[in-house]
Amino acid sequence: MTSLALAAALRDERHGRLDMLPYARALDLHFDQDDSEVRLIMPFAIGLVGAPGRIHGGALAGLLEIAGLAAVIVAQADADHLPRIRPVTVTVDFMREGSPIDTHAAATVTRLGRRIVNVSSLAWQYDRSRPIAAANINFLLDWPEAT
């Protein structure tokens, strides 16, 4: 029930850690939010380096996917009754090299259906208007059967 744990953290706190998701814990992700969006922060660590002096693409893709998941959870009407949320497709565009500094990410739900949710995620470092990576993600919502 990690989606429910994440939903509870997002509902109850304005900023905090994302330790309930193993990959988020490995990336040491934190979040900050206001009424309009959830922003993730991935602090720089030497373990995130891919090519010398650059953030690994897999770490960036994971950051973008988790930002998308947070946006889907926040968009749900009832955070206490969530479906199973599974990514179907994740398409990442790497735009600039990631420098060895903190990286930020946020996502926007572009289409919210009963079964499919489309999300656009963005990662940046120095300036949000100059993203280092972006992703388009399709999530499948698997609602439990009503009994």
pLDDT digits (tens, 9 = 90+) for 40-74: 999 998 888 887 778 898 999 999 999 999 899 88
- CATH for 97: 3.10.129.10
**How far is it, in rounded angstroms, from Cα 140 to Cα 79?**
17
Query: Of residues 3 and 144, which shows the higher confidence score?
Result: 144
Residue 1: per-residue pLDDT: 41
Domain that holds residue 34: 2-142
pTM: 0.88
**How far is it, in rounded angstroms, from Cα 100 to Cα 43?**
9
Residue 147 inside a domain? The answer is no
